[in-house]
């Protein structure tokens, strides 16, 4: 794969920071690649703008941890999409929650993929796992990190009593893409 930069965005409380942590940890510790993770969020604990950046490299350590242009943009809120769309490469990949984000002004070269992550999480009984549904979908779309590494890292990163719910959420996201990403 070489090198891939992923910008995750949404609002506080959606698990954006945890998602970035899981991707970076899965890539570095379980796939044996180089990775960096940075994060930013507004002053509000919940509801404010929130973003995480992950850069993954196969060949060499990542010497600059900030993304100037992203290969992949993940948007879990309209404000996040509107704010961070200019960071996405003209030929990049957009992954977004189709129930929460209305896309516009995309380059014809952008590969856009929609998943109703929050709705799927609600169907599972807890919308707090929408980020993990998104991680499953993102992993299937990009193959930037292996499925096995992601699942292992999720198991290591969530409270034991929520492991099975999170595994199911990840699998639902993964299968949504594998089954043709039909909402």
What's the half-sphere exposure (Cβ side, CA atoms, 13 Å) at 38?
13
pTM: 0.93
The Cα 38–Cα 61 span in angstroms is 15
183 pLDDT above the threshold of 50: no
pLDDT averaged over every residue in the chain: 93
Alpha carbons 132 and 150: distance in angstroms, whole number:
10
Query: pLDDT of 152-161, one tens digit each?
Result: 999 999 999 9
The angle at the Cα of 148, spanning 11 to 35, to the nearest 5 degrees, equals 60
Please write the tens of the pLDDT for every residue from 128-137.
Answer: 999 999 999 9
Bridging pattern class, strands 88-97 and 111-115: parallel
Q: How many domains does the chain have?
A: 1
Task: Examine residue 178 and state whether it is found in any structural domain, yes or no.
Answer: no
Over residues 95-137, the pLDDT tens digits come to 999 999 999 999 999 999 999 999 999 999 999 999 999 999 9
Does residue 165 lie within any of the structural domains? no
- Tell me if 99 is assigned to some domain: yes
- For residue 2, count CB atoms less than 10 angstroms from its CB and return exposed for 0-12, middle for 13-18, buried for 19 or more: exposed
Question: Quick check: is 121 in a domain?
Answer: no
Tell me, yes or no, whether 179 lies in a domain: no
- Residue 152 located in a structural domain: yes
Dist. CA 58–CA 53, nearest whole Å:
17
Query: For residue 110, what is the domain's CATH number?
Result: 3.40.920.10
Predicted local distance difference test score (pLDDT) of residue 45: 53
* 70 falls within a domain: yes
- Alpha-helical (H) ranges within 55-162 are 78-84, 117-123, 130-142, 147-157
Contact 12, 48 (CB under 8 A): yes
């Amino acid at each position: 794969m070489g090198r891939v930069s992923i910008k995750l965005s949404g609002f506080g409380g959606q698990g954006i920071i945890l998602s970035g942590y899981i991707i970076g940890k899965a890539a570095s510790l379980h796939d044996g690649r180089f990775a960096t993770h940075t994060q930013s969020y507004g002053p509000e604990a919940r509801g404010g703008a929130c973003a995480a950046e992950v850069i993954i490299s196969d060949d060499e350590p990542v010497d600059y941890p900030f993304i100037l242009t992203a290969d992949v943009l993940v948007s879990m809120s309209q404000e996040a999409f509107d704010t961070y769309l200019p960071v996405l490469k003209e030929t990049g990949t957009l992954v977004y929650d189709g129930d929460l984000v209305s896309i516009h002004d995309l380059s014809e070269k952008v590969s856009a993929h929609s998943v109703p992550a929050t709705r799927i999480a609600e169907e599972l009984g807890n919308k707090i796992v929408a980020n993990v549904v998104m991680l499953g979908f993102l992993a299937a779309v990009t193959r930037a990190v292996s499925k096995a590494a992601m699942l292992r890292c999720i198991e290591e990163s969530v409270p034991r009593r929520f492991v099975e719910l999170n595994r199911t959420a990840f699998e639902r996201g993964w299968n949504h893409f594998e089954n043709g990403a039909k909402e």
